[in-house]
Amino acid sequence: MKFYKESITKTYNILLNKKVENINHLIPSNYENINSATGYKIAYLSDINIFLFRGLVHGSYYLYDKAICNKKACNFLSCTCGFHAFKDKKRALVELSKHIGTIMLEVELYSDIVIHQFGYRGREQDIIRIFLPDKCSKFLCSNPTSGLYLKDKCYQTICSEHKNTFISIKELRISFGLDVLVLPSEY
């Protein structure tokens, strides 16, 4: 297990176009003793049968996954490979509200981990909890989420008035073997 101090990753730099001068206060003082990091991220659920998720920008991953770098000689510290997650749940919730069809994941990152301004980049990732938006994804519908249905290659929230058949929250919990929670309406 290695924890690296890194000011900010290239990927986040590009995505958010921000520069940070001092991040020392963001790094936990006991970082050498931490074996994993819990973070939050948003994703598309693209296949419910094989538990496949797709990232916003690129890449797909399963419930438990290990990053494979496409560089010949990967130096994890300076590379951008791996799984990204926000440390702050609120930051992930902001992203969730901007991207239709996404869900939020709570993940544990482990193996090699890089800490950066917004969270973590890890070589291995376990999804430990799934959060669904509270409202039906149909345009202008404000009914509460009853479950998920497949639309445009990803599973989106749906209410019981819009669909008779959908995958219920209970069915999702059983098939994933994880907590599947609908977010409270004031997020």
Tell me if 133 sits within 8 A of 145, measured CB to CB.
Answer: yes
Minimum Å distance from CB 9 to Zn ion?
11
Sign of torsion, CA 181 27 56 141? positive
- Binding residues for Zn ion, rule: CB under 5 A, are 69, 71, 74, 79, 81, 136, 138, 141, 143, 159, 162
Minimum Å distance from CB 33 to Zn ion?
25
- 8 versus 74: smaller Cβ distance to Zn ion: 74
How is residue 140 written in tokens? 């202008």
Tell me if 156 sits within 8 A of 149, measured CB to CB.
Answer: yes
Rounded to whole angstroms, the Cα distance separating 15 from 149 reads 29
Minimum Å distance from CB 21 to Zn ion?
26
Tell me if 152 sits within 8 A of 102, measured CB to CB.
Answer: no
Minimum Å distance from CB 133 to Zn ion?
12
- 107 versus 136: smaller Cβ distance to Zn ion: 136
Closest-CA residue to 110 (of 119, 120, 122): 122
- 128 versus 167: smaller Cβ distance to Zn ion: 167
- 51 versus 83: smaller Cβ distance to Zn ion: 83
Minimum Å distance from CB 146 to Zn ion?
8
Tokens 């440390």 belong to: 87
Host H or E run for residue 13:
helix 10-16
Rounded to whole angstroms, the Cα distance separating 64 from 107 reads 10
- 8 versus 128: smaller Cβ distance to Zn ion: 8
- 83 versus 131: smaller Cβ distance to Zn ion: 83
Host H or E run for residue 170:
helix 169-176
Minimum Å distance from CB 136 to Zn ion?
3
